[in-house]
Structure 1
Amino acid sequence: MAYPDDLLSSGEHVVIHRHPHWKVLIFPVFWLLVVVALGTYLAGLVADQSWASIALVALAVVGAVLVLWLTVAPLVRWRTTHFTLTSDRVMYREGVFKRTGLDIPLARVNSVRFEHSFVDRLLGCGTLVIESASDEPLEFDDIPSVEKVHTMLYREVNDNPGDDYHPGVVDGRA
């Protein structure tokens, strides 16, 4: 899914648009399987009881609440989290009901680095750390293909004609 063009300024284009890595969905899927298996097992235990209809309704309600809380909410959170690199800025948006956003102009980016553990390397994701004019470095966790994103961001920062740093240029002369 492409990033909405109405959020971009004129002349700005999307270089990379990512959701968090799919690894953040492992536990929600695990909990879905646990809730369904446990609910099925408990439904089988109470099926022959005289009070089975009340117990089955209670199990269905509890199961639905657990699935919404442990599986659907993280899935929606994953789907509504965006890391976007454009020709002018880095944008990070997250949230469903309380939406938060962060924009970093490329001219303000001082350095970019990435970190990933052995498991992250196997899965192809990692943490992108951007140091800008702000006080603390900003960390973006679970970025898919973090090394590629790091390279593209570094290229965009160095190719950005709006910044003040141009290697090899002294006093406006090459």
Structure 2
Amino acid sequence: MAYPMDVLTDDEVVVVHKHPHIKALIGPGLVLLVATALGAWGLLWSTGDSVSDTTATVVGIGIGVVWLAALVWFVVRFVSWRTTHFVITDRRVMFRQGIITRSGIDIPVLRINSVQFRHGLVDRILRTGTLIVESASDDPLEFDDIPRVEKVHALLYARLDDRLDDDEPTPR
């Protein structure tokens, strides 16, 4: 949890710090795996006796280009996944994303009107989903692929409820 520590205010406590669900890497990972398997098969085929040297060279270059493209796509998606942070503290909700150009949003807990979550069958199986946060002045913000979205929803609602309880005057 090293990332959010440098942006916290005094006495602010991190409650949840998550990256998007690992399912974001399944597609690029499978493409890289298939490209590797097909590339290995293609190189074995191209070294056969019935294949000319020119054909073997063209096949080798083509396989190398395709495999390198699959590797670059996987690495970019992995770095993007690693540099995306969803953080809930006792005071705010923070979302940061980006590799070269970073963007982010902070929502004070006291400005949150409602918290919802949504997930379909596949998301339920993978225990992930979309968290929807509606604040006082903006359209609802949707945070996709939040791991254990129901638990995060409950924690955020509890934080909201705690902050509202702290602001109510005590009865005399």
1:97 equivalenced with 2:100 (yes/no) = yes
Q: Which has the higher helix share?
A: 2
1:2-26, CA deviations, whole angstroms, 9 ceiling, x for partnerless residues?
A: 4341110111010000111111111
Distance 2:68 2:167 in 1: 62
Normalized against structure 2, the TM-score is what? 0.88
1:77 equivalenced with 2:80 (yes/no) = yes
Shift of 1:145: 0.7
Shift of 1:95: 0.9
1:66 equivalenced with 2:70 (yes/no) = yes
Distance 2:144 2:167 in 1: 34
> What SS is found at the alignment partner of 1:3?
helix
Partner of 2:39: 39
Give the conservation status (yes or no) of the 8 Å contact 2:21–2:145: yes
Distance 1:143 1:44 in 2: 42
**Structure 1 segments unaligned to the other structure (5+ residues):** none
Shift of 1:138: 0.5
Share of identical aligned residues, percent?
Answer: 48
Give the conservation status (yes or no) of the 8 Å contact 1:20–1:78: yes
1:100-127, CA deviations, whole angstroms, 9 ceiling, x for partnerless residues?
A: 1111011110010111112211111111
1:151 equivalenced with 2:165 (yes/no) = no
**Structure 2 segments unaligned to the other structure (5+ residues):** none
Distance 1:126 1:39 in 2: 35
Distance 1:168 1:35 in 2: 57
Distance 1:126 1:132 in 2: 19
Shift of 1:57: 4.1
Normalized against structure 1, the TM-score is what? 0.87
Greater mean alpha carbon deviation, residues 116-125 or residues 12-21? 116-125
1:87 equivalenced with 2:83 (yes/no) = no
Partner of 2:18: 18
Count of residue pairs the alignment pairs up: 167
1:135-171, CA deviations, whole angstroms, 9 ceiling, x for partnerless residues?
A: 31001111111111011101111212xxxx44995xx
Give the conservation status (yes or no) of the 8 Å contact 1:20–1:144: yes
Give the conservation status (yes or no) of the 8 Å contact 1:3–1:14: no
